Structure 1
Amino acid sequence: MRNSSSTIQSGSRPEDMPERTSRTKTLPLKNMLLTMVKICAVVALIFMGFLGALFVFLPLPEPSIPEATRIYDINGNLISSLFVENRIVVPYDELPQHLKDAVVAVEDKRFFSHKGIDISSILRALLRNFRAGEIVEGGSTITMQTAKNLFLTHDRTIKRKVLEAIYTIKLEMRYTKEEILEMYLNIIYLGHGTYGVETASKLYFGKSARDLDLAEAAMLAGIIKGPEIYSPYHDMDRAKQRQAIVLDLMVEQGMIDEAAAQEAKQAEITLAGMPKQSSAAYFVDFVVAQIREWNPEVGSQIYRGGYEIYTTLDLNMQAAAEQAFARYMPEGSKDADGITQPQGALVAVEPYTGHIKALIGGRDYSETQLNRAYQVRRQPGSAFKIFLYAAVLDSGYPINHTQMCEPVEFPGKASDDVYKPRDFGWQGYHYAPLDIRQAVAISDNVVATKWASVIGPGTIIDYARRLGVESPLEANIPLALGASEVTPLEMAAACAALSAQGTYAKPIAILKLVDSNGKVLLENQAETRQALRPDTAYMLTSVLRSVFSPGGTGSGLAGFFGSRPVAGKSGTSDNQLEAWFVGYTRELACAVYVGWDNREQSLSGTGSAVAGPIWASFMANALSGEPIRGWEMPDNLYWDKVCDKTGHKANITCFDWHYELFKQGTSASVCPTNHVFEYLLGALNREEEPQVNRVPIFIPKDAPAASTGSPGGTTQVEDLEQIDESVIEELLPYLEQGDQTGLEDFDWSQLLPGLVPHEPDESGGPGEAGLDGSDEETSDGPNGEPSHPEGHQEDVESGLGQDGEGNGQQGEPGQTHPGATGSRGSSGLQEARLATGTKQPEYAAAGD
């Protein structure tokens, strides 16, 4: 039977049963601490496991040290450095021992004994920083700094510190101490944008780190701690104090003795001087663009690959270009984009080689990097006529061939349009026949369009292509006046071909490209081709030299050159929106362009007045000191006498004549006029030759001196009294009838004692004179500048009709400068002469 008293009722508890502790009560302190320790241990184990896994699985990156690319000019002078970090890497074995010792002594004296992390240095740094209340010392070793600089940022985070420690240990495991120190010496920052001891050594001392002495090495090592504080350029006294600390540490560590240290402390330090900013930024951009086009992979590494690029630029010529720009560019003003306007460009190319010797792509590279030398096309105006007349002369037309300057019409672009070219001036036409030399010298537009019609726009384009123009060209009559757009680089290269006897060389800027290991990746030479026959190039050069004669559009620039032979052509686009001057000597060709980027504002000046002084100043200074040389005349060219009045080859009665250049095998008509009979007829009737509006005769600057003894000039009416009466009686019937038929055998040479007729020169003219620099032109002023450098402002404004405008300078009509023999056919500087007889007429202004 069950005892009911022993039954425990639900919900009751025996009095002697102990009370259970509540789960919500606080654990004893020791249990809490034990739990925390366990938790920390687990976290630590997890963290250590993570670090271990990170150490095992995190690969050490391959060290990649960005190295600066160096660009040199033709003479080996440094033009510019391209870099992410300005650095030149030098092998460990090539660095002097005292430089390596100095760095180790001041940065990490236990470098060769610790395993990458120096615990004692870290503890010492912590203690000093704690006492000072600020960071006064770092505990990083050379290996730790190398790991940070190679693989990490400079952010002060736990993540960076952890990775730095791992990379430091791995560096020590993979590389020798010497290899780590080599890396360190080539990557440390040493102030003024330089990285590594080699670049810094050249910056501060103007020499390679290989050549540093002890004093210089100690100063360089002292800069590492604070380049902005200890740079000798900032504070030489502070730099010397830091140098002394380095030397004392080297003595303390047994690297040098006290005597060597004292000698280094007392040594005078000579600084190289801060380098100037690159003066060829547009050229450098052009070089980089060329490399990227040639090899995109190399181009992508150009700022970190450590390449050496040897170029064609001549820094002396570049300086001359920048000086000319600074002096003669029109006064500028800021446009809406903050860019100074007008802008401009200059390109100089060496004949035969195609070497670009100077290049400017704008007024200020810091304002705009648009390179107008080759990235911008503009209308060249009459400067494009060099292609027109290259085609004309190469087609066999002689220089004395004429076209009448009178109103003419051509079909326009639309079916109902009419194109009517005009010359600048109140008349718009000269109403006179102009030979090629005259038309080029005064930049006549009407005659140019007539020649374009004769040979065809397609032929002009063909010759422009031969001479290197790749820009789109429109086949129409205005093309001859520069209506299509080209680049300054194309124009300069074309002029270089004319100077090089018709040999076109594609412009190049890079001669050689070498990688950081010394391997030559590229050796460059210009592609060449014979674009024109040598005789055509010579004849066109002779014609373009007349541009600088009195009356020519470039006459105001002649004083820049003295006796140096020079050829050129001005150009101005419609409404004077663009101004050009292109030209060359035997040694150098150059094109200059000036204009507003938006092409909305006039320059209020012509090519000769705006671009001409820049071109002439540059050319004169760039060639200063160079021997004066001309061009050698090809054997199949010869000089012959041309009648001033008719433009035909002179006959025995042509007493007013000048020499002109001819090509063997080409025909040229002989003057049909008996000028003695014509004169006597006029004198008998007491009639004076009427005044006419004519263009001056341009004496070729390269013409030979005459040897006939003829004084030239004109015969005065009073000379009739010298004629024997019997001769007058014999001639009178013919004179009264105005017909000389029947006088074919008359001895005209005996008519007047003062007139000695000459025989036309059939064999090539006296002498073998060429474009050899024998002209006696206006003398130079200081530094190759003209005696009156502002003389170009005297040019007479004139224009290009529909497609351009230009200028000229009135010469002094009627003046002649006889040569040694007293002949008008003499060489040397000749004044413009007029084909007018006894009277000296006015003549129309020139075009450009």
Structure 2
Amino acid sequence: MARARSSRQPRPSATPARSPWRRRFSILFRIVLGLALVAVIGLVTAVYVTKSELPSFEQLKSSPNGQMIRVHAADGTVIVSLGPSYGEWLPYGQIPAVMRDATIAVEDRRFRSHLGVDPIGIARSFQIRYQAGRWKQGGSTITQQLARNVFLSSQKKFGRKFREWILALAIERQFTKDQILELYLNKVYYGGGAYGIDAAARKFFGHGADHLSLAEAAVIAGLVKAPSNYSPTADVDAAKGRAGVVIEQMVRYGAISQAQADEADIADVTLAPEAKQNSARYFTDWALPQLDVLIDEQQAPLEVWTTLDLKMQRDADAAIRANVPGGAQGALVSLDRDGAVRALVGGTDYVTSIYNRATQAVRQPGSAFKLFVYLSALEAGHKPDDTVVDEPVSIDGWSPRNDSRRNSGPVSLRTAFAYSLNTVAAKLGQEVGFTTVADMARRFGITTPVNTHPSMVLGTSEVRLIDMTRAFASVAAGGVAVAPYGITRVTANGQTIYSHEVDRSHVLVAPYVAAQMVDLLQTAVNTGTGREAQIGRPVAGKTGTTSSGKDGWFLGFSSGLTTGVWMGKDNARPIPGLHGGTAPARAFAAFMRPATSNRPIEQFETQVTLPDMELEPDQESYGQPDNAVFVDDDGNPVSAPGPEQAQPVQQPAPTSGDDEEDGTTPAPPAPDRQELNQDWINRVTGRDRDQGAPRDRRDREAPSRPQPREQPRYSDDRPYQ
């Protein structure tokens, strides 16, 4: 039994047992293979789904890379182009071969052979990353760059990179290589706001891209890697050095021979001069932000048509530069009768300072603020010929004084305004109420806070030049509100999407109040503190000077044009000799003479009436005491001859807003006298050259007055005899 049992024992197997590790590897291999298969299927699916969603070639050609804004002056001239700049779209056949070859050689040598993503290029970038310890070279193909520029952002994240690969593969399935290269060369960013080779060629070389030389093509192709670093306008040497690298790559790629490379003299490439910034940018910096309120269009290229008159702008710039004191700044705003901004200068040099002193700076206006004091008094019932006593005043412990340190007794409102008597302004402010004056200022467009302390009547509240100019323009318009505007029309794709409409319905004061204010303002220019602003035609305006000459203002209007001028230092330091009646008034006249030369002479509704002529002189008129007015045949001041001439006409004492200038200088020798009579006024205001009215009618409107035997004296409460 035992033997039988042993004979039945199992025999050993012929094949050895399978290793568990081999079994596990086999399972892992199958899983990886399955996942790879799933991934390939998913990738192919994603690629073809993306391909089906891609825009057509024509749609991609027309899609913008960003919003371009071209700003036009009033005559249609392009002032500035902002945002991305596009040149002409060049079809593949019109793109120079050297441009195509240069781009492929430096950006993607295997462009013609890969499927949209270049594994060799990716491997090389990882190798360089490992050797250098940081990313120095990307592996993106031209197709990937096109996908990124058109569809994606520039964030360096793997998720974005994966989407970029999918898009590149889909683009390769949708378009031919030639179409891809055409899209790329017409849409890629080359720096300086230029998109596409034609815009880049025009910006850097001054001509289109359809006839680029080898050296020029190399410069443009080299910009793609780092537009800001290699831009010819930023670093010419860096741009030309990078172009040399491009030409070397073209030789290695086989696009050109070494002989051709040697002939391409990059050093002799001529660059187009960079456009200079000018004062018109102060205007565009102010006007263009208003587009956010005026329109909703955020994508389509915009054509913006503005009110800026380029000749007036040049004249304004020249007037400020020629008259501003050394080390100081100046600003000017000029408004047409409907509020159109014809000129706007925010400083002496836009390149060195983009700070806009015409629209951003807030400074004390000095006596120019008295406009609102006298408007309030006139609205309350005062008349220009009303008598008020110039005497010491104390209001809640505040005791203003005139610049002359004297008081003149009874004077008319016209005289007090023409010679900027501070005591009278204080009395009027107290009478009508300082809150009323502040409300009047806000009514006329002052947007900055206005205090109601008694000293506010002398211009202690800070204001903007454009707001003050607006206020004077509203007076010139007969008391109807004038709102400054700079944009007349905006078009997008040839369609008008905004058109400005002037609103003349907001009446600020009664017409008679505005007319009486013009009466005061034109007297201030013709015989008062603003005499330097005379331009040979009717002018109405007001000076303003703050303590120690920190700010000088002149604001006025003539022939439908209102202009405001400010001068001072940004740090509010004193400027010796600065008064509203000196440099600012001279800049006003230097601008307004050519600005109004082609406009008809317009007479004001009210005649010029001479103020009282018995007060002491003050410094603001010419920056020093001046006891007389001596004029030439056109009514312009003339220099003084010897003292043997006749005695001059005595002048009252002009004062400024809150000036407290100490010291005086001797009066100049007395020149030939020109009597202050109506003939003189006619010459100053241009009435004697007014061809629109018969001479006899003008004589009836403004009869000549008899000449006085000694010095002319005029009454405060009746027309001069």
TM-score range, shorter chain: 0.5 to 0.7
Could you say if the C-alpha distance between residues 185 and 815 of structure 1 is closer, same or farther in structure 2, counting changes exceeding 3 Å? same
Residues 632-691 of structure 1 show CA distances to partners (whole Å, capped at 9, x for unaligned) of 336x75578x8x9xx6xxxxxxxxxx9xxxxxxxxxxxxxxxxxxxxxxxxxxxxxxxxx
Which residue matches 1:674? none
Structure 2 CA distance for aligned equivalents of residues 327 and 823 of structure 1: 33
Query: Is the counterpart of residue 311 in structure 1 residue 306 in structure 2?
Result: yes
Which residue matches 1:506? 483
Which residue matches 1:632? 602
Cα RMSD (Å) of the superposition? 6.0
User: Which of 323, 347, 351 matches 2:336?
Assistant: 351
Say if 2:388 and 2:411, in contact at 8 Å, map to a contact too. Answer: yes
Query: Is the counterpart of residue 777 in structure 1 residue 628 in structure 2?
Result: no
Could you say if the C-alpha distance between residues 376 and 274 of structure 1 is closer, same or farther in structure 2, counting changes exceeding 3 Å? closer
Query: Is the counterpart of residue 613 in structure 1 residue 583 in structure 2?
Result: yes
Which residue matches 2:692? none
Say if 1:571 and 1:806, in contact at 8 Å, map to a contact too. Answer: no
Q: CA deviation at 1:4?
A: 11
Structure 2 CA distance for aligned equivalents of residues 810 and 323 of structure 1: 32
Could you say if the C-alpha distance between residues 811 and 398 of structure 1 is closer, same or farther in structure 2, counting changes exceeding 3 Å? farther
Say if 2:519 and 2:606, in contact at 8 Å, map to a contact too. Answer: no
Which residue matches 2:389? 404
| AA aligned opposite 2:203 | L
Helix, strand or coil at the partner of 1:528: coil
Say if 2:333 and 2:465, in contact at 8 Å, map to a contact too. Answer: no
Q: CA deviation at 1:118?
A: 3.7
Residues 318-351 of structure 1 show CA distances to partners (whole Å, capped at 9, x for unaligned) of 455555666666666xxxxxxxxx8x67341323
Say if 2:96 and 2:212, in contact at 8 Å, map to a contact too. Answer: no
User: Which of 491, 495, 500 matches 1:524?
Assistant: 500
Query: Is the counterpart of residue 389 in structure 1 residue 374 in structure 2?
Result: yes
| AA aligned opposite 1:45 | L
Q: CA deviation at 1:426?
A: 3.9
Which residue matches 1:190? 190
Say if 2:472 and 2:555, in contact at 8 Å, map to a contact too. Answer: yes
Q: CA deviation at 1:466?
A: 5.5
Structure 2 CA distance for aligned equivalents of residues 385 and 547 of structure 1: 12
Say if 1:73 and 1:315, in contact at 8 Å, map to a contact too. Answer: yes
What is the TM-score of this pair, normalised by structure 2? 0.67
User: Which of 405, 410, 413 matches 1:433?
Assistant: 410
Which residue matches 1:756? none
| AA aligned opposite 1:214 | H
Q: CA deviation at 1:493?
A: 1.3
- In structure 1, list runs of 5 or more residues that go unmatched: 9-13, 254-263, 333-341, 648-657, 659-691, 700-772, 781-795, 842-848
Structure 2 CA distance for aligned equivalents of residues 630 and 390 of structure 1: 28
Could you say if the C-alpha distance between residues 116 and 347 of structure 1 is closer, same or farther in structure 2, counting changes exceeding 3 Å? farther
Equivalent residues in 2 for 1:693-772, closer than 5 Å: 694=616
Could you say if the C-alpha distance between residues 441 and 531 of structure 1 is closer, same or farther in structure 2, counting changes exceeding 3 Å? same
Helix, strand or coil at the partner of 1:289: helix
- In structure 2, list runs of 5 or more residues that go unmatched: 56-62, 257-263, 622-631, 640-652, 686-706, 714-721
Structure 2 CA distance for aligned equivalents of residues 369 and 594 of structure 1: 16
Q: CA deviation at 1:488?
A: 1.6
Could you say if the C-alpha distance between residues 815 and 156 of structure 1 is closer, same or farther in structure 2, counting changes exceeding 3 Å? closer
Equivalent residues in 2 for 1:241-256, closer than 5 Å: none
Say if 1:508 and 1:525, in contact at 8 Å, map to a contact too. Answer: no
Which residue matches 1:223? 220
Helix, strand or coil at the partner of 1:200: helix
Equivalent residues in 2 for 1:671-690, closer than 5 Å: none
Structure 2 CA distance for aligned equivalents of residues 497 and 798 of structure 1: 25
More displaced, 481-490 or 173-182? 173-182
Say if 1:374 and 1:487, in contact at 8 Å, map to a contact too. Answer: yes
Helix, strand or coil at the partner of 1:608: coil
Say if 1:70 and 1:82, in contact at 8 Å, map to a contact too. Answer: yes
| AA aligned opposite 1:572 | T
Structure 2 CA distance for aligned equivalents of residues 199 and 306 of structure 1: 15
Structure 1 CA distance for aligned equivalents of residues 231 and 435 of structure 2: 69
Could you say if the C-alpha distance between residues 77 and 220 of structure 1 is closer, same or farther in structure 2, counting changes exceeding 3 Å? farther
Say if 2:116 and 2:168, in contact at 8 Å, map to a contact too. Answer: no
Residues 286-343 of structure 1 show CA distances to partners (whole Å, capped at 9, x for unaligned) of 2243222334x44xx4xx65322222234554455555666666666xxxxxxxxx8x
Query: Is the counterpart of residue 145 in structure 1 residue 161 in structure 2?
Result: no
Q: CA deviation at 1:777?
A: 1.1
Q: CA deviation at 1:357?
A: 2.9
Could you say if the C-alpha distance between residues 637 and 799 of structure 1 is closer, same or farther in structure 2, counting changes exceeding 3 Å? closer
Count of residue correspondences:
637
Residues 472-516 of structure 1 show CA distances to partners (whole Å, capped at 9, x for unaligned) of 54567544333444322111112223444555421002112223x
Which residue matches 2:469? 492
Say if 1:379 and 1:482, in contact at 8 Å, map to a contact too. Answer: yes
Which residue matches 2:199? 199
Which residue matches 2:427? 450
More displaced, 174-183 or 574-583? 174-183
Residues 80-119 of structure 1 show CA distances to partners (whole Å, capped at 9, x for unaligned) of 4443xx2337556xx695237665565469xxxx998646
Say if 1:115 and 1:172, in contact at 8 Å, map to a contact too. Answer: no
Say if 1:816 and 1:824, in contact at 8 Å, map to a contact too. Answer: no
Which residue matches 1:731? none
Say if 2:303 and 2:490, in contact at 8 Å, map to a contact too. Answer: yes
Say if 2:116 and 2:165, in contact at 8 Å, map to a contact too. Answer: no
User: Which of 38, 43, 46 matches 1:51?
Assistant: 43
Which residue matches 2:85? 87
Residues 231-259 of structure 1 show CA distances to partners (whole Å, capped at 9, x for unaligned) of 599379999999999999xxx99xxxxxx
Helix, strand or coil at the partner of 2:597: coil
Residues 50-90 of structure 1 show CA distances to partners (whole Å, capped at 9, x for unaligned) of 4235436668677662233233333334444443xx23375
Equivalent residues in 2 for 1:121-136, closer than 5 Å: none
Structure 2 CA distance for aligned equivalents of residues 246 and 625 of structure 1: 59
Which residue matches 2:164? 164
Q: CA deviation at 1:274?
A: 1.3
Say if 1:583 and 1:589, in contact at 8 Å, map to a contact too. Answer: yes
Which residue matches 1:380? 365
